Amino acid sequence: MTTTRFAPSPTGNLHVGNLRTALMNYLIARKARGTFILRIDDTDLERSSGKYVDSIKDSLNWLGLHWCREERQSERFNQYVEAVDKLHGLGRLYEAFEAPNDLKLKRKAKVKAGKPPVYDREAMVLTQEEKEKLRTEMGASVWRFKLDRKRVEWTDGIMGDLSIDAASVSDPVLIRQDGRVLYPLASVVDDIDMGVTDVVRGNDHVTNTAVQIQIFEALGGTVPRFAHHALLTGPKGEALSKRLGSTLPLSLDNLRKDKVVPFALLSMLARIGSSDPVELRNNMDDLTQGFDLSRFGAAPINFDVRRLYALNARYLRNMPVSSVEKELASIGIPDNLAEPFWLAVRDNITTLHCLKEWWAMCQNGADPVIADEDRDFVKTAMTLLPDPPFDVTTWKKWTTAVKAVSGRTGKDLFMTLRKALTGRESGPDMSALMPVLQVVRARN
Ligand code: GLU
């Protein structure tokens, strides 16, 4: 039974990079008819916040990434304590007392000497008396996991065969001074207890994986299949961190406010960075069917928001009015005009946000744009335009009549009249727009 999980820390809102992780895990579970777990990694009680938990869930629900089960690390401390006891029993934990500043100095000294900044295990050789003394001096200690200094190897679902020398990694702190268990251990305990079979996450976790594989083995758990995807990068090539992701227009909250359609976003994120083309899908089955983790590459991939908006525009072009009825009603478009309005403007909008602007134009008319040399022509043309309401034949009949009296043709005729009526050089097909246009200001 395939089981995956998306494990955000509720310390910020989700951005497109997080969504890519969530989506990959979701699609793997869905494809195998397995279980997708939402695990809230809130062991860091100070930095975690309920407001972010809500926002994470809202975003996932908005996108239709429904989870089968929800878990919270903050509710599982007892299980972590059991695992700690087990590791103590195995002699894999040792007490360490260095203050963060000492560690920093040690690391600096190592780097200066051209050595990898790996923790020197000085605390391991302390005698009982020395430990007692340090406990009194420093207060509580932390507990580190004693890594087995050998190579850790696994076949990564995206990066291929990986091998990390555990001797080049510091023994990780698993228990803080206040006794709280930290993420690297909590995550492994959860993955074992919840039967997680596949873990997809960003490649910033590759070293964690080497460490965690050793913790899995120490606890006697089955190591899941790991896959590490390349991080998405922002406009300047910078990796999308939590801070950056939520400030750029790439936070999911922001895209939602901007009324980006979920399937435009999902279609893009389920394929970018893979050898499959980004194609618009409008249901989860299609998205799932073509999804194949092995087709993703390990190179960093730039997320170009313009590409997303272009995809969104394409998506809207094929959307029937029934999918946007609520949206149209919410901006005050009467039922009888909903369909003609939608069919007229849907080819000319990037997001549903733009509907308001077009509706305002239909309702109030636009400031006409008329060149000096066209003034008389437009004046005459306006005398030939009947009063609203217009219908689908109005544009054709009107322009034919204007052509007959003015002799103008082509752009001189059509573009000049379009600009007089809509104030813009481009926009919806005029025959389709006329029936929803209620005010013509160029008349005055
Ligand atoms: N809470 C971790 C993160 O957000 C989860 C990493 C993992 O998938 O294990 O980076």
Q: How far is the CA of 9 from the centre of ligand 1 (A)?
A: 7
Q: How far is the CA of 417 from the centre of ligand 1 (A)?
A: 58
Q: Which atom in ligand 1 lies closest to the alpha carbon of residue 5?
A: 8
Q: Which two tokens stand for residue 59?
A: 């975003």
Q: Which two tokens stand for residue 429?
A: 């097909």
CA gap 239, 246 in Å, rounded: 12
Give nearest CA residue, ligand 1 atom 4: 8
Q: Measured between alpha carbons, how far apart are the two ends of the chain, in Å?
A: 72
Residue tagged 């932390």 (tokens): 142
Decide if 3 contacts 211 (C-beta within 8 A).
no
Residues of the chain with pLDDT under 70: 241-248, 444
pLDDT of res. 333: 96
The three-class DSSP label of residue 424 is coil
Ligand 1 binding pocket mutation candidate from 3, 9, 212 (most atoms within 8 A of CB): 9
Per residue in 156-201, pLDDT (tens digit) is: 999 999 999 999 999 999 999 999 999 999 999 999 999 999 999 9
Residue 9 in contact with ligand 1 by CB distance below 6 A: yes
For the chain, domain boundaries: 3-72+185-231, 80-175, 242-317, 321-443
Decide if 9 contacts 35 (C-beta within 8 A).
no
CA gap 123, 220 in Å, rounded: 26
Instruction: Classify domain 80-175 at the CATH class level.
Output: alpha beta
Q: How much of the chain is in helix, strand and coil states, percent to nearest 5?
A: 50, 15, 35
Residue tagged 């079979």 (tokens): 197
For domain 242-317, is the CATH number 3.40.50.720?
no
Residue 8 in contact with ligand 1 by CB distance below 6 A: yes
pLDDT of res. 281: 93
Which residues are paired to 181 by β-bridges? 175
Q: Which atom in ligand 1 lies closest to the alpha carbon of residue 191?
A: 9
Residue 242 in contact with ligand 1 by CB distance below 6 A: no
Residue tagged 């397995």 (tokens): 34
Residue 5 in contact with ligand 1 by CB distance below 6 A: no
Q: Is the dihedral of CA 233, 237, 239, 241 positive or negative?
A: negative
CA separation, residue 331 to residues 347, 359, 366 (Å): 19, 8, 18
Give nearest CA residue, ligand 1 atom 5: 7
Angle subtended at Cα 294 by Cα 291 and Cα 295, rounded to the nearest 5 degrees: 70
Which CATH number applies to 3-72+185-231: 3.40.50.620, 3.90.950.10, 3.30.310.80, 2.30.29.30? 3.40.50.620
Residue 208 in contact with ligand 1 by CB distance below 6 A: no
* Residue 7, CA atoms < 13 Å, CB-side half-sphere: 24
Helix (H) or strand (E) segment spanning residue 261: none
pLDDT of res. 408: 97
Q: How far is the CA of 49 from the centre of ligand 1 (A)?
A: 16
Among candidate residues 57, 242, 326, 356, the one labeled active-site is 242
Q: Which atom in ligand 1 lies closest to the alpha carbon of residue 199?
A: 8
Q: How far is the CA of 54 from the centre of ligand 1 (A)?
A: 18
Q: Which atom in ligand 1 lies closest to the alpha carbon of residue 208?
A: 9
Residue 39 in contact with ligand 1 by CB distance below 6 A: no
Per residue in 213-251, pLDDT (tens digit) is: 999 999 999 999 999 999 998 877 777 766 666 666 788
pLDDT of res. 336: 94
Residue 187 in contact with ligand 1 by CB distance below 6 A: yes
For 193, residues 6+ apart whose C-beta sits below 8 A from its C-beta are 76, 79
Note if 236 is an active site residue: no
Q: How far is the CA of 204 from the centre of ligand 1 (A)?
A: 10
pLDDT of res. 246: 63
Sheet containing strand 142-145, edge to edge, reads: 93-96, 142-145, 173-175
